Amino acid sequence: MKWDKEKFLKEMRKNTSREVAKVGEMLCDFSEKDADEVSWGRGDEYGTMTYKSKSDFGLISLFQITSKGQIKFCLNVLRQKDVPKNIMRDFVIKLEANFLRDYDKVNYPIDSLENMGELFTTGAQIDKLMQCIEGIAYRLRQ
């Protein structure tokens, strides 16, 4: 099945709390506005939406959300692409400051899905994440 925004958000509203569905909707709207490409998944079990940015390495995924209310930061994908260290460090520091978690290679060795209900406890965290992604994407495009 090919997902789109309408199907994705409908499924998310069915599977998650109102708060998480609202975060998902904000991230979808932001991605449509800011990403160089928004990619919708094809899975049968749940939908995915991926924010992709242009870079010297082609299109790079920065984060992905699922219709089950999960988010994945694609840090290890960026590490494998040899994204400049200053951009990587900035991304990691901003995520760590925003969510009070460790995203270094040791504590975050694989990109994993995290529950958005547990991760986002304030509206400011959503705004900060969007500003962070905007800045990282801007720097990758240069």
pLDDT of 58-76, one tens digit each?
999 999 999 999 999 999 9
pLDDT at 106: 93
pLDDT at 12: 98
Pull the structure tokens for residue 104.
């270094």
pLDDT at 109: 94
Pull the structure tokens for residue 23.
């975060």
Alpha carbon distance 23, 9 (integer Å): 10
pLDDT at 82: 87
Alpha carbon distance 71, 116 (integer Å): 6
Alpha carbon distance 126, 26 (integer Å): 8
Alpha carbon distance 11, 2 (integer Å): 13
In sequence order, which residues have a C-beta less than 8 Å from that of residue 3 and are 6 or more positions away? 40, 41, 42, 43, 47, 48, 49, 67
Q: What is this structure's pTM? A: 0.96
Would the pLDDT of 96 be above 90? Answer: yes
Question: Which domain does 32 fall in, by range?
Answer: 5-141
Pull the structure tokens for residue 74.
């694609």
pLDDT band at 1 (very low <50, low <70, confident <90, very high): confident
Mean residue pLDDT across the chain = 96
Mean pLDDT of 24-37: 98
Mean pLDDT of 79-105: 95
Domain count, the chain: 1
Would the pLDDT of 129 be above 90? Answer: yes
Would the pLDDT of 112 be above 90? Answer: yes
Cβ contact 64:50 at 8 Å:
yes
Best CA proximity match to 137, nearest among 5, 6, 67, 33: 33
